Every structure is written in structure tokens, then in C-alpha cells.
Structure 1
Amino acid sequence: MLALAFRPFYLLAAGFAVVAIGVWAAIYLGWWPWSGAQPAIGGMLWHAHEMVFGFAAAVVAGFLFTAGKNWTGQQTPQGWLLGGLAAVWLAARVAMWTGPAPAAALLDLAFLLLCAAAFLRVLVRAGSTRNYGLAAALFLLWALNVVFHLAMNRGAVHIALQSADAGIGLVVIFITVIGGRVIPMFTANTVPGIRIRRSTPVERSVVALTLAAMIACTLAPRGMATAAIALLAALAQALRLGGWSSWRTVRKPLIAILHLAYACLPLGLVLLAASALGWGERSTALHALTVGAIGCAILGMITRTALGHTGRKLEAGAVESAAYACIGLAAVARVIGPLLLPQYKAFWIASAAALWMAAFALYLLKYAPYLTRRRADGREG
């Protein structure tokens, strides 16, 4: 369990994905039977914070520590140190529900700061300057979490929500950067004879435009300028994806899910542009990025990397395919449903929550034994 970071963090994140969304949906829909047992900071703020700084942060830490070992040849946290980080993460999740606020902030902020420092230490020891930006992004995620807790301490709910939105934007940048590196490579390795086309102007502009769009949508969510930037970023993302021959991955679920996740980036940006002009709910646009891009990317990566790092074939079976179908349908229900039939929003949210929970429950069903046992090939890791 403590040989490599993907093991505890993927397991904890998947379990939390099931529980946290189930609890939040019950609270939101009025189905929560224990009125006196609710998050100390309120249901909406808890949901916004925990899915970014709890769930997504755990996956990012597990992925970066695991990939970092491959990138650098240096040992990332394992054993008691890894166990300690996992314990801090888990204690933070409990404290974010129960309070008190100072204890919750201390534990929550300690986790990301310790992860960022440990990851940077590995990169510095290896001289891996190419990946310093990823360490900087971890520190930035921690800084946004600091803003969230300071804002909550002062009762500035709007600023707290802005910091959570900025956290979503940062995870979108993670997907843009890392997805741009690995999805074409995985696709070329999986689909024989496929042609990957890259446009130099697009590759040079897509990260900057997406970053600008997420900053604009966080700080000034309404207005023509924000809409224009978001549309430019959407165009760059769509052009990039268009060079990856996504249609040829349909029969390869392990790579198709990553293409689906990336396709939700331009969709989410277009919807953010529309909401900036007063067309449609901003929440629906954000969920195109959270459920669609982030949810699909996380499920795709935690299956693929878990298979590879437990010594198994990179093949998706019936369970993985069912999980991918569930997460994809969850995105459709949460985003397309309210756009087409907004009067049934509660139904769409309940359906999306159930499908999300099913996706990660299926992951746990198959992958919990993989994550808690030695590698199938007997190697270390």
C-alpha cells in the first residue's frame, strides 16, 4: 500500500468521490435525513472546496509522485512518509466536515504544502527543470487553498468560491499541459497507423489562452472581454484535439476516455463564454469542466496508471468500460440535460450524482485489490 503514492491516494480519492458526491446530492436535493449533521462550513462551500482541494488534490499528488519517480529516477515519498501524507489528507477531510475551522485549515493546508515541498525536492535533486512548473502549480493550488480558508475566516463567501473556481482552472491547466504530453503519445502507441498532427501556433498558444480564460472567468465572469477570451481558448483546444484523430480511438476505451475528457475542455470554455454573455447558467459550464473534463480525465488516468504500475496489461475490460460509460453519462446528465430541459434540473443532478458514484464504485470494485496487493509481475512499486 505504501510502496508508491498512486496506491493510497487513488484508493482514498475514489472512495471519497463516491461518498462526497452522494452526501452532497442528498443535501442539495433535500434528501439528507440528519439535519443536525452537515458540513461545518455549509453544504455548497463544502462541496466546492472538497472536490477541488480534497478529491482532485489527492489524485494530482498520487499521479505526480508516481510519474515523478519515472521522470527523475528519484524515489518519491513511500513508507511511513507516504502513510503520513495520506493520514493528513484523511484527517483534513474529516475536519472539513466537523470543524473546528482552525484545525480544518491547519490539516488541509499542511497536506498540499507538504506534497508540493516533497515533489519540488525530488525535482531539484534530479535537476528536472522541465517539471518545475508542475511543482509551482502545486504550490499555487496550496496558495488558492490559503485564500479559501482566509476568506471563510472573514466571512467572505464570494472570495472563497472564487478561490475554488480558480482551483478548477488550475486543474484544467494540469489537464491541458499533461494531456498535451501524454494523450497523443498514448494514442499513437495504442492505435496502429494513426496520424497525430500538431500545429505549432496552437501548441504555443493553447496553455496561455486557457490560463487567460480561466483567470478571466474567475475574476470577471460576466462581460464581452471574458467571453472573447474563453472562445479563443475553446478554439485553440478544439484545434489541438482535432489533430489527434479521436474518432479512431472509439474501440480502445482506455484511450477513448482521455479523448472524451479533453473534448469537454472546449465545450466547457464555450459554455463559460455563453454564461459571460448571460446565456445559460455558469454552474452548468463549470460542471462541463469538473464532471466532464476533470472527472473523465481522472478516471481514465487512475485506471491506466494503476494498471501499468501494478504490472498488468494496459487493456480495459468490461468493468472499466462500464465505469467510463457511467462517468461520460454523468457529464451528459449534468451538462446537456439542464441545457435542454432546465425545468428538470433536480432530476439531472440526481442522475449525474448516481452515475458519478457508480463510476468510481466500479473502479473500487476492480482496483482496490490491485492497489492493496503486490505488483502482478513481482517488481517493486
Structure 2
Amino acid sequence: MTQQAAPLMSIHDPAPPAPAALPGWPLLRLGFRPFYLGAALLACVAIPLWIAAFLGHMPLRLPFPILLWHAHEMLFGFAAGVVIGFLLTAVRAWTGLETPRGPVLGVLVLLWLAARLAAVLAPYPVFAVLDMLLLPVVAGFLLRVLIRARNRRNIPLISLLLAMALANAVFHLSVLELIAVPAMSALYAELALILMVISIMTGRVVPMFTKNVTPGLVIQVSRRFELTLLAVTAVTLALWVLGAPAWLVLPASVLSAALHALRLWKWHPRVTLRRPILWILHFSYAWMPVGFVLLALAQLGWVAPSLAVHAFGVGVIGGLIIGMITRTARGHTGRPLQASRGEVVAYALVMLATVLRVLVPAVVPAWYVRALDSAAGLWALAFAIYLVIYVPWLTRTRLDGKDG
């Protein structure tokens, strides 16, 4: 008698178990989600508000000078928020261990938001206390994860996070007149620290991203060159922040500009022209040598130092942020690493805003106000486009159904 094969599944068999439901609200599953959206919203709101107040179109009464508010919020609110979101996400990827999520992540985001609101609505001491809490707390969480994973390579990044917290504390103590350090020096120190983070991270990821999409491309940047570039950059920025004599800052700035330009050339930026999600990283990084050239010219009194500051702040930091918060958000939501038309427009707007804010006033000083106003509008529009595209993506589960 021939034995019949049993059917794979009968109608009486139990159904296969459904995949486990993912825990929590999607927005709070990984750090990049709320912090990227919060930073983009701040970029949209704070810059038009600053320009309107600066040009006298509307009153903005603050317990400290409005210029300091503008610079602080762009560095410690916008840029630091993105750095926090990036590191909360990256450390999880580097170690395989959980970083803050769910209610804990929600508390961190609310602390960031409370500080932003307190800057314009609360007495200054309340703002200072709220604002000084976030960076040390995040650094503590991340340092614990890296130590558990024995991931010593990335601990220096946490040291930079703690250095940012120190710069923030110096800023607030200066504004409160508790220490005799100019508040602007603390802001320059924060800018320098962010540029150092960028110098380290771009050296790791930009060549890798470029090679991954360009078959046969060879990028050769020696470790010795990288360490030299980082050391020279750190020394140059330290001399500038500490107010060293122009005869020291000038040659250091020229050398930094040359090294960063050489590094960019070694990355073969020409191969990225048909890949907007990649060329935005190269174009933004190109403002690094431009910024150091402007810093050198400022030592000679030929241009205002603010042009160098905004080449770094708008071109390097703003450009790399719009590039990375699109690329990493796409990757971590299961989407292809290919920019849409809207994202390309956002990239172009940030680069054009940099030209208007930095180069137009340098060439035609009489157009300063018009260029400033236009740059602010383009900047705000770029991050508004990001929000329109990414709010639905970052508040929903990944396309592939995975956690994260």
C-alpha cells in the first residue's frame, strides 16, 4: 500500500504565529527620528524669526542679546540636536546594544524642546539650567553603551560631546556674568568642536559612501595624512577661539585650507555629480577650505570674520546636516538611498543660501541686507521641504517592518 504524503497544512492546523508587534510609538524607536524632525523644525522657525527681529520687522524681547540667541540656537539647538540624534542611532549600529528609546528617548526630546522654548519664554536662569542638562545626560548614556560593548574607538566622540557641554556651560555662566569669559568665545568653541566632529566623521564615511556607488574607484588617503589634517585643524581652531595673534592664526588657517582641499580632491568629488545624495556631502565639505581661507583673510582685515563663521555654519554644517539627515533617515527607514526631486531642491537651496550669506556680501557689501533676507528664506524653505517629506516617514514603522 502506497503511503500518501501528509499535506503541508490542513484546515485544522493552527495558523503560523504572527510577527511580534514592534514596541512603542514609531517616533520614539530610535534617536534620529525625533531629533532630526525637531532640528529641522527649529531651522524653519528660528532663522526667519531672527531675521525679522534683526531687520526690525518685529520685536523679539529676550533676556539676553538677540545675536547670542541666534548663534546659540543654531549651534546648541539645531546642530547639537542633529549630532545627538545621529549618535544615538550610530552607537546602536556600532555596538548592537540599545540606546535610549521609548519613554527615555521621549524625556530627552522634551528636555531639548523645553530648552528651546525657555530661551524665548522663561527667565534666563530657567533656560540655562534646562539647556545645560541635555548634553551631559546623553553623553552618559552613550558612554555606558560603548564601555559595555568595549568599543573604545568611538569613545573620543563622546569626549567631544562632553566638551560641547562644557562650552555650553561657559556660555551660560558668561551671560549670567558669573565668569569673565566672552559669551561669543564659548560659541566659537562650540563651532570649532562641531567642525572637529565633522572632520572626523566625514573622513570615515564620505570616502566609503563614494566608493560604494562607484565600481572600481580607488580612494587612497593615508592614516598619517588624516591624523595630520585633524591635528592642524584642531590647532587652527584652538588658536582662533583663544584669540591668538593674527600672525599665528593666518598661516595655520592657510595650511588647514590646503589640507582640507587636498582631502576633498582625494575623494574624487567629480564622480558624484549624478548622485545628489552624495554630491551634497562633497559640495558641503568644499565650504571647509573656503571657510579657512576666509578666516585667513579676516586676519588681514580684508573680510569680516562673520563670513568665515557662516561659511562653516551654513555651508559646512548646514549642508552636511541636510545631506546626512536625508541619507541616514532613508537608510534607517528601509528606503533606497536615492534622493527625490524635493530633496535635491532642498540641497540646492542650502547651497544657494550659503552663497548668498557668505560670498555675495564679500563681493558686493551694499547687497548685504537683501542677501541676508534671501538666504534666510531659502534656508527655511529647504528644511520645510525636509519636514513635508520626512514627517510621514519618521512617524511610521520602517518599510521593511523591522525595528528602528
**What TM-score do you get using the length of structure 2 for normalisation?**
0.91
- Greater Cα shift, 90-99 or 131-140: 90-99
- Greater Cα shift, 97-106 or 308-317: 97-106
Quick one: which amino acid aligns to residue 210 of structure 1? T
Is 1:243 matched with 2:269? Answer: no
Q: How does 1:107-186 map to 2 (within 5 A)?
A: 107-154=130-177, 159-186=182-209
**Does the 8 A contact of 1:17 with 1:357 survive in 2?**
yes
Find 1:13's aligned residue among 23, 36, 39: 39
**Does the 8 A contact of 1:202 with 1:239 survive in 2?**
no
Following superposition, the deviation at residue 42 of structure 1 comes to 2.1
Q: Deviations over 1:130-153 (max 9, x none)?
A: 001000000000000000011011
Following superposition, the deviation at residue 201 of structure 1 comes to 4.0
The change in CA–CA distance for 1:360 and 1:275 in structure 2 (over 3 A counts) is same
Quick one: which amino acid aligns to residue 84 of structure 2? A
Aligned to 2:30: 4
Following superposition, the deviation at residue 158 of structure 1 comes to 6.4
Give the root-mean-square deviation of aligned CA atoms: 1.3
- State the identity %: 45
Quick one: which amino acid aligns to residue 18 of structure 1? C
The change in CA–CA distance for 1:346 and 1:188 in structure 2 (over 3 A counts) is same
Structure 2: distance between partners of 1:178 and 1:157 = 34
Aligned to 1:91: 114
Q: How does 1:177-256 map to 2 (within 5 A)?
A: 177-220=200-243, 223-256=246-279
Structure 2: distance between partners of 1:261 and 1:39 = 32
Quick one: which amino acid aligns to residue 11 of structure 1? L
The change in CA–CA distance for 1:177 and 1:164 in structure 2 (over 3 A counts) is same
Quick one: which amino acid aligns to residue 298 of structure 2? S
Structure 2: distance between partners of 1:16 and 1:157 = 30
Q: Secondary structure at the match of 1:374?
A: coil
Find 2:370's aligned residue among 347, 350, 353: 347
Flag as ranges the 4+ runs of structure 1 deviating above 2 A.
Answer: 37-40, 155-158, 191-195, 199-202
Q: How does 1:49-60 map to 2 (within 5 A)?
A: 49-60=72-83
Structure 2: distance between partners of 1:370 and 1:79 = 17
Following superposition, the deviation at residue 194 of structure 1 comes to 2.5
**Does the 8 A contact of 2:357 with 2:371 survive in 1?**
yes
**Does the 8 A contact of 1:222 with 1:277 survive in 2?**
no
Structure 2: distance between partners of 1:327 and 1:119 = 31
Structure 1: distance between partners of 2:306 and 2:73 = 16
Structure 1: distance between partners of 2:185 and 2:244 = 10
Q: How does 1:42-53 map to 2 (within 5 A)?
A: 42-53=65-76
**Does the 8 A contact of 2:170 with 2:181 survive in 1?**
no
- Greater Cα shift, 85-94 or 190-199: 190-199
Which has more radius of gyration?
Answer: 2
Q: Deviations over 1:178-214 (max 9, x none)?
A: 0000000001112233231314442121111111111
Quick one: which amino acid aligns to residue 188 of structure 2? D
Find 1:323's aligned residue among 323, 338, 346: 346
Following superposition, the deviation at residue 63 of structure 1 comes to 0.1
Q: Secondary structure at the match of 1:193?
A: coil
Structure 1: distance between partners of 2:145 and 2:61 = 39
Following superposition, the deviation at residue 62 of structure 1 comes to 0.2
Q: Secondary structure at the match of 1:31?
A: coil
Aligned to 1:106: 129
Structure 1: distance between partners of 2:245 and 2:114 = 37
Is 1:72 matched with 2:118? Answer: no
Following superposition, the deviation at residue 235 of structure 1 comes to 1.1
Structure 1: distance between partners of 2:294 and 2:208 = 29
Q: Deviations over 1:307-329 (max 9, x none)?
A: 00001000011011000000010
Structure 1: any 5+ residue segments left out of the alignment?
A: none
Structure 2: distance between partners of 1:276 and 1:126 = 45
**Does the 8 A contact of 1:41 with 1:97 survive in 2?**
no
Equivalences, count? 378
Is 1:311 matched with 2:337? Answer: no
Structure 2: distance between partners of 1:77 and 1:213 = 35
The change in CA–CA distance for 1:157 and 1:343 in structure 2 (over 3 A counts) is farther
Q: Deviations over 1:226-261 (max 9, x none)?
A: 111111111111111110110110110001000011
Structure 2: any 5+ residue segments left out of the alignment?
A: 1-26
Following superposition, the deviation at residue 72 of structure 1 comes to 0.7
**What TM-score do you get using the length of structure 1 for normalisation?**
0.97
Structure 2: distance between partners of 1:125 and 1:189 = 31
